[in-house]
C-alpha cells in the first residue's frame, strides 16, 4: 500500500481550555497578517494592467499594449522591469523570513509582528506616492520585508495561542484570509482603474496602508504568547497568561509541557545540522518539495497576472479586471470547502482530487488558447463562448487549488515537524515557498512570450508529477496528534527505511525523542 492509513487518535493529549475572546482576537490578528500577504499578491497584477500606470512607469510595455493586434499577443507584456516590480517583493520576503526567525525567538512574536506592520506601512506609503520606478521597487522591497516578518511570526503566534483542538481549522483560517486579501485587492483594482485622471493605481498601492495599520496596532495591543514568554524567562507571567487565554485555572499540564519543550529545544545546539540526520529525511523532503510543488501548480500566474492574462487572450481592460474579481471570489469560497472537509476527508484525498482537477483544467485551457492564438499569437475575431469557456476552466482550476495545494501547502508541513527541528524546518518551508513564488513571478511573462499556450502544459506536467508524489510518498496525517506523528513514517512503505522503530518513541501522548530529552508537546 502506498501510504499509512488512519491512526487511532485515542491516546493523544487533550489540554483543558476553550475558545476565549483572547483566542478570538488572536485569530483576527492572524487574519490581518494573511490579508496583507493576499492584498500584495492581488494588487500587482491589476495595477500592471492599468494603462495610466504602464504609461507612467513602463512606457515601452504601454506602447506595445497600444500597438495594433498584429503584434504578437503572447509578448505584449514581456518586460524585465515589469516582472521585477512584481517579484522583488518575494525576494525581500525570502531574505527577511530567514532573519525574522531569530528576531521572533529573541524578542517575541509581538515584536516581529510590529516590525512587519511598520515595514508594510512604509512600503505602502512609498508606493502610493511613487514618482519613479525606483520608488516602486523600494516600496515593494519594504512590503516584502514586512511579509517575511509577518509570515514568520503570525502563524507561530496563532499556533501557540490556539487551543489544541482548533489548531487545524485556525491554520486554514490563515489561508482563507490570504484569499480574502487577494479578493479585496481585485475588487479595489476594478473600481480604482475607473477613476478619471488615471491616478487610481495610487489608491490601490497606497491602500496596503490600511491592513498594515491594523496589524501594527494589533501587535501593540495583544499579549505575547506564553511559549515566547517562557522562552525569554518570564515563567510566572506566562502561567497567568495561559490561564487567561484558556479561560480555565487548571493549565498545569500544558504549562509544564511548554516549559519542558522550551528546555529541550534550548539543548538542541544545531537545529540546521539536525535537519540533515537520516531520521528527518521525510521531514526535510516535505519541507522542500511541498512548497516547491505548491508554486509549480502555476497558481500565481493567475493570482499575479490574471488581468494581464485575460487581456492577452482577448478581453478588454474592464473585462480583464472583472474576471480577476471572479477568480478571486472562487478562490476565497473554495477555501471554505477545505476548512469544512480537511478533517473529514483527509489531506491525501484533497491533494489527489485537487491535482486531477487542476490537470484537466490546464489541459483544456492550453487547448483553447492554442486553438485560437496558435503559435504566432494572432487570434483574429474571438467569439463570446470562447471567453466563457476559458474563464470557466480557469475558475475550476483555481477552486481545485484553493481546497488542496493552497491550504495544505501550509498545513501539512506545520503538522509533521517534531519540535527539535520545527523552527529550522519551517524556515526551509517558508523560504522555498518565497523563492519559487519569486521565480514564477519573474519568469512568467517571459515564458508566456516563448512557450505561448505551452506554458499551461508546462505547469500541467508538474501537477501530474506532484500528484504521483503525493500518492506514493505522503502518508495521511489527518486525525493524528502531532505527538504521535512519528508513527506515520514508521508505517510507511518507503519512509520506514529512514525512520526506525526507535526513532520516535511514543509515550502516552508525550513523545520522547531518542538521543535527546525533547518533549514534543505542541
Q: Residue 117 or 409: which CB sits closer to ligand BGC?
A: 409
Q: Which of residues 436-465 bind ligand BGC (CB under 6 A)?
A: 437
* Helix ranges, 404-485 (H): 405-416, 419-451, 454-473
Q: Residue 416 or 419: which CB sits closer to ligand BGC?
A: 416
What is the smallest separation between the CB atom of 415 and ligand BGC, expressed in angstroms?
A: 15
Q: Among 45-53, 296-304, 365-373, 485-493, which window interacts with ligand BGC (CB under 6 A)?
A: 296-304
Q: Which of residues 417-436 bind ligand BGC (CB under 6 A)?
A: 433
The reply to whether 303 sits near ligand BGC by the rule CB under 6 A is yes
What is the smallest separation between the CB atom of 475 and ligand BGC, expressed in angstroms?
A: 22
Q: Among 254-262, 294-302, 469-477, 493-501, which window interacts with ligand BGC (CB under 6 A)?
A: 294-302
What is the smallest separation between the CB atom of 42 and ligand BGC, expressed in angstroms?
A: 9
The binder of ligand BGC chosen from 27, 29, 41, 324 (CB under 6 A) = 41
Q: Rounded distance, CA 517 to CA 176, Å? A: 37
184: closest CA among 388, 36, 297?
Answer: 36
261: closest CA among 477, 510, 499?
Answer: 510
Angle (CA) 37 140 406, round 5°:
25
What is the smallest separation between the CB atom of 224 and ligand BGC, expressed in angstroms?
A: 26
Q: Which of residues 500-519 bind ligand BGC (CB under 6 A)?
A: none
Q: Rounded distance, CA 37 to CA 39, Å? A: 6
What is the smallest separation between the CB atom of 333 and ligand BGC, expressed in angstroms?
A: 12
What is the smallest separation between the CB atom of 404 and ligand BGC, expressed in angstroms?
A: 10
The reply to whether 300 sits near ligand BGC by the rule CB under 6 A is yes
C-alpha distance from residue 462 to each of 3, 283, 289, 293, 314 (Å): 21, 21, 12, 7, 27
The reply to whether 416 sits near ligand BGC by the rule CB under 6 A is no
Taking a C-beta distance cutoff of 8 angstroms, is the pair 172, 411 a contact? yes
What is the smallest separation between the CB atom of 437 and ligand BGC, expressed in angstroms?
A: 5
Q: Rounded distance, CA 429 to CA 156, Å? A: 13
What is the smallest separation between the CB atom of 398 and ligand BGC, expressed in angstroms?
A: 8
3-class state of residue 49 by DSSP: coil
What is the smallest separation between the CB atom of 90 and ligand BGC, expressed in angstroms?
A: 9
Taking a C-beta distance cutoff of 8 angstroms, is the pair 410, 269 a contact? no
The reply to whether 331 sits near ligand BGC by the rule CB under 6 A is yes
Taking a C-beta distance cutoff of 8 angstroms, is the pair 379, 373 a contact? yes
- The answer for residues whose C-beta is within 8 angstroms of residue 388's C-beta and 6 or more apart is none
CA end-to-end distance (rounded Å), the chain? 30
Taking a C-beta distance cutoff of 8 angstroms, is the pair 179, 328 a contact? yes
Q: Among 295-303, 309-317, 468-476, 482-490, which window interacts with ligand BGC (CB under 6 A)?
A: 295-303
Question: Which grid coordinates are listed for 214?
Answer: 491594523
Q: Residue 120 or 280: which CB sits closer to ligand BGC?
A: 120
The binder of ligand BGC chosen from 212, 222, 299, 309 (CB under 6 A) = 299
- Residue in the structure block whose three cell numbers are 522591469: 81
Q: Residue 23 or 441: which CB sits closer to ligand BGC?
A: 441
The reply to whether 27 sits near ligand BGC by the rule CB under 6 A is no
Q: Residue 245 or 441: which CB sits closer to ligand BGC?
A: 441
Query: What stretch of H or E contains 318?
Result: helix 317-345
Q: Which of residues 46-105 bind ligand BGC (CB under 6 A)?
A: none
What is the smallest separation between the CB atom of 433 and ligand BGC, expressed in angstroms?
A: 6
- The answer for residues whose C-beta is within 8 angstroms of residue 507's C-beta and 6 or more apart is none
428: closest CA among 261, 285, 308, 229?
Answer: 285
Q: Among 23-31, 141-149, 150-158, 293-301, which window interacts with ligand BGC (CB under 6 A)?
A: 293-301
Q: Residue 170 or 303: which CB sits closer to ligand BGC?
A: 303
437: closest CA among 126, 91, 97?
Answer: 91
What is the smallest separation between the CB atom of 106 and ligand BGC, expressed in angstroms?
A: 27
What is the smallest separation between the CB atom of 177 and ligand BGC, expressed in angstroms?
A: 10
DSSP letter at 266 equals H
Q: Which of residues 121-180 bind ligand BGC (CB under 6 A)?
A: 175, 178-179
Q: How many residues bind ligand BGC (CB under 6 A)?
A: 15
Q: Rounded distance, CA 125 to CA 140, Å? A: 10
Q: Residue 330 or 424: which CB sits closer to ligand BGC?
A: 330
What is the smallest separation between the CB atom of 71 and ligand BGC, expressed in angstroms?
A: 30
Q: Residue 92 or 518: which CB sits closer to ligand BGC?
A: 92
Question: Which grid coordinates are listed for 51?
Answer: 494603462
Residue 42 C-beta-side C-alpha neighbours within 13 Å: 34
Q: Rounded distance, CA 495 to CA 239, Å? A: 39
Q: Which of residues 355-414 bind ligand BGC (CB under 6 A)?
A: 406, 409-410
Q: Residue 83 or 179: which CB sits closer to ligand BGC?
A: 179
- Residue in the structure block whose three cell numbers are 493524528: 480
Contact positions toward ligand BGC, by CB under 6 A?
41, 175, 178-179, 182, 294, 299-300, 303, 331, 406, 409-410, 433, 437
Amino acid at each position: 500500500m502506498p501510504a499509512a492509513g488512519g491512526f487511532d487518535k485515542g491516546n493523544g493529549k487533550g489540554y483543558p481550555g476553550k475558545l476565549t475572546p483572547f483566542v478570538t482576537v488572536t485569530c483576527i490578528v492572524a487574519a490581518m497578517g494573511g490579508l496583507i500577504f493576499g492584498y500584495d499578491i492581488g494588487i500587482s497584477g491589476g495595477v500592471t494592467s492599468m494603462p495610466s500606470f504602464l504609461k507612467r512607469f513602463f512606457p515601452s510595455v504601454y506602447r506595445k499594449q497600444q500597438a495594433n493586434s498584429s503584434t504578437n499577443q503572447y509578448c505584449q507584456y514581456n518586460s524585465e522591469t515589469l516582472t521585477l516590480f512584481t517579484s522583488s517583493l518575494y525576494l525581500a520576503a525570502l531574505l527577511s523570513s530567514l532573519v525574522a526567525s531569530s528576531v521572533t525567538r529573541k524578542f517575541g512574536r509581538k515584536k516581529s509582528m510590529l516590525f512587519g506592520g511598520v515595514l508594510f506601512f512604509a512600503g505602502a506609503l512609498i508606493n502610493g506616492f511613487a514618482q519613479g520606478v525606483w520608488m516602486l521597487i523600494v516600496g515593494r522591497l519594504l512590503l516584502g520585508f514586512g511579509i517575511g516578518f509577518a509570515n514568520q511570526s503570525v502563524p507561530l503566534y496563532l499556533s501557540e495561542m490556539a487551543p489544541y483542538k482548533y489548531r487545524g481549522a485556525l491554520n486554514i483560517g490563515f489561508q482563507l484570509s490570504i484569499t480574502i486579501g487577494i479578493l479585496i485587492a481585485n475588487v479595489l483594482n476594478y473600481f480604482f482603474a475607473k477613476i478619471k485622471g488615471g491616478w487610481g493605481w495610487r489608491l490601490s498601492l497606497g491602500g496596503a496602508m490600511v491592513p498594515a495599520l491594523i496589524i501594527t496596532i494589533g501587535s501593540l495591543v495583544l499579549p505575547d504568547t506564553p511559549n515566547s514568554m517562557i522562552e525569554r524567562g518570564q515563567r510566572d507571567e506566562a502561567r497567568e497568561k495561559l490561564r487567561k487565554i484558556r479561560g480555565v485555572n487548571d493549565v498545569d499540564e500544558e504549562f509544564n509541557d511548554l516549559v519542558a519543550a522550551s528546555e529541550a529545544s534550548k539543548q538542541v545546539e544545531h537545529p540546521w545540522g539536525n535537519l540533515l540526520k537520516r531520521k528527518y529525511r521525510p521531514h526535510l523532503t516535505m519541507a522542500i518539495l511541498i512548497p516547491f510543488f505548491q508554486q509549480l501548480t502555476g497558481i500565481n500566474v493567475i493570482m499575479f497576472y490574471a488581468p494581464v492574462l485575460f487581456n492577452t487572450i482577448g478581453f478588454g481592460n474592464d473585462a480583464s479586471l472583472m474576471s480577476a474579481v471572479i477568480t478571486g471570489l472562487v478562490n476565497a469560497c473554495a477555501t471554505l470547502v477545505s476548512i469544512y472537509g480537511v478533517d473529514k476527508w483527509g489531506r491525501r484525498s484533497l491533494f489527489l482530487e485537487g491535482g486531477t482537477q487542476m490537470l484537466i483544467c490546464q489541459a483544456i485551457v492550453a487547448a483553447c488558447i492554442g486553438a485560437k492564438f496558435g503559435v504566432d499569437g494572432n487570434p483574429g475575431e474571438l467569439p463570446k463562448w470562447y471567453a466563457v469557456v476559458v474563464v470557466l476552466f480557469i475558475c475550476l482550476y483555481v477552486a481545485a487549488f484553493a481546497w488542496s495545494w493552497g491550504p495544505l501547502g501550509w498545513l501539512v508541513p506545520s503538522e509533521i515537524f517534531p519540535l527539535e527541528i520545527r523552527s529550522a524546518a519551517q524556515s526551509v518551508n517558508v523560504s522555498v515557498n518565497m523563492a519559487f513564488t519569486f521565480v514564477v513571478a519573474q519568469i512568467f511573462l517571459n515564458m508566456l512570450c516563448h512557450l505561448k499556450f505551452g506554458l499551461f502544459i508546462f505547469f500541467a506536467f508538474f501537477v501530474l508529477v506532484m500528484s504521483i508524489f503525493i500518492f506514493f510518498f505522503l502518508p495521511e496525517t489527518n486525525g493524528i496528534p502531532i505527538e504521535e506523528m512519528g508513527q506515520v513514517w514508521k508505517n510507511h512503505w518507503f519512509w520506514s527505511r529512514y525512520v526506525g522503530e526507535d526513532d520516535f518513541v511514543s509515550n502516552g501522548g508525550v513523545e520522547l525523542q531518542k538521543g535527546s530529552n525533547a518533549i514534543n508537546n505542541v
